[in-house]
Structure 1
Amino acid sequence: MRICRLLGAFAALCIPPIAFASGNPDRGAQAFRACAGCHSLVGGDHRTGLSLAAVYGRRAGTAEGFHRYSDALRKSTAVWNEQTLDWLRDPVAFIPGNALAYQGLPDATMRSDLVAYLRAVSEGKAAALKTPALPDLKTVEAGQRVKAIGHCGDTYRVTLGNGARYPFWEFNLRFKTDSSAHGPRKGEPVIVGAGMGGDRAQVVFAAPEEISVFIRNECP
């Protein structure tokens, strides 16, 4: 068994040598690292992009539970295989109007290896590369739990579970939702930093209807 040494946050992944004439799945596992920022190989674990578990042999635009397909993908009759997955060379040209924000993978060998790996994973012949786990917003400490948000003029004032209170210029505070299993509990939003020296942040709610009722118009 060959050992592929994967860099960064990815642990070592052992993959038996599999002979697909069109590509090398061992090398394809390493190529997948470039995809792992947006895609998981766990069934139903949709992120920025859909889960690529069992993608080989599936019709385009039909992954269960993924709701962000473009109309072009939904209407496509393509079935993902060695030939159609080569769309990674130029996604826009292959299915015009699709929403994949990716410029393409020009290296033919790398594309072939990546497709071979996706096929091997789909057929249960190779281990799925573990992608970084998403943070569990249900288990954060009191200093990340939002107890109140007041708005006055151009300023939000956010009170946290540990009693701390922080002002934010309204343009620097974002409101988001996460309804997944990793998201916050209902009625218990969480604040997450967004860089820029601490003057930007995002408050994550369990559902959109919570946002407007949580924020109160009040001035100190």
Structure 2
Amino acid sequence: MKATVFVATAIAGLGATSDALADGDPTRGAQHYRACVACHALEPELHLSGPSLGNVFERKAGTAEGFVRYSDGLKTADFIWNAAALDGWLKDPAAMIPGTYMVFQGIANPQARADLIAFLEIAGKPGGGGKAAADGLIPAAWLRAGAPEPIRDVPPQARVTAIRHCGDSYFIRTDDGQETPYWEKNIRLKIDSVETGPPKGVAVILGAGMAGDRVSVIFSSLTDLISLVQEKC
């Protein structure tokens, strides 16, 4: 059955919650939005594990610019994110769009959904995220949510010039001339191809907690990763 049928069903059943929707409180909704911050930013086109919710209100489903990880159901859905559609989605995403990739069980309480929708009617419109922060509904940091700060100029000891893999180890050479060995299971090789990543042709090593023996190496593209990592003892 097509996604639009499920959406129509969800919207058709909205009558029971229409009063709650009309009484949604954006201040309370901002508190419910706290659960969304782990996966969604409010800065437009800044995508995390989920698409940006900047400009989401009245946007056609499955069309956030630059986001490519939509399920087939959302790619082919023919509706906009208005109050009715959001209510059905927030109640039970998997029932509304079977096969959705969104890991979210839904909000059973209709008043809580109405409050969250009232918040998104403000924050999810053009310039709305900044307005929500300026009005004190949310901290300004929630606009970028869990997005890392862009990697700009880095010191020589964090700029990777070569990586060789030997046995169960990575040997990472940095621009200060040092080569440091790491157990292979303590190294994460990551790609950040958007504006938060390093410049093209540059890899950056960042600490990843523990006792300093775990690090992430960030590349701007798969091409850079392939060119910098060698199997060599």
Structure 1 length as normaliser, TM-score?
A: 0.81
2:148 counterpart of 1:134: yes
| Corresponding residue of 2:194 | 180
CA shift for structure 1 position 22: 4.0
Q: Deviations over 1:29-66 (max 9, x none)?
A: 22222212221112111122111112111221011111
| Corresponding residue of 2:72 | 71
Greater Cα shift, 92-101 or 106-115: 106-115
2:40 counterpart of 1:39: yes
Structure 1 runs (4+) greater than 4 angstroms displaced: 123-126
CA shift for structure 1 position 199: 3.0
CA shift for structure 1 position 204: 0.9
| Corresponding residue of 2:166 | 152
CA shift for structure 1 position 69: 0.8
| Corresponding residue of 1:108 | 110
| Corresponding residue of 1:7 | none
2:54–2:126 CA contact under 8 A, matched in 1: no
Letter in 2 for 1:191: I
Q: Deviations over 1:137-168 (max 9, x none)?
A: 12333332212211111211112233443222
- Structure ranking higher on relative contact order (CA contacts 8 Å, 6+ apart): 2
Letter in 2 for 1:74: K
Letter in 2 for 1:116: A
2:71–2:100 CA contact under 8 A, matched in 1: yes
CA shift for structure 1 position 73: 0.9
Cα distance in 2, alignment partners of residues 106 and 160 from structure 1: 52
Cα distance in 2, alignment partners of residues 102 and 200 from structure 1: 31
Unaligned 5+ segments in structure 2 are 1-20, 134-139
| Corresponding residue of 2:220 | 206
Cα distance in 2, alignment partners of residues 109 and 213 from structure 1: 54
Greater Cα shift, 134-143 or 171-180: 134-143
What is the percentage of aligned positions where both structures have the same residue?
Answer: 44
Aligned residues: 200
SS in 1 for 2:29: helix
| Corresponding residue of 1:57 | 58
Cα distance in 2, alignment partners of residues 164 and 113 from structure 1: 54
2:22–2:114 CA contact under 8 A, matched in 1: no
Unaligned 5+ segments in structure 1 are 1-19
Name which of 150, 162, 176 aligns with 1:162: 176
Which has the larger share of helix?
Answer: 2
Structure 2 length as normaliser, TM-score?
A: 0.77
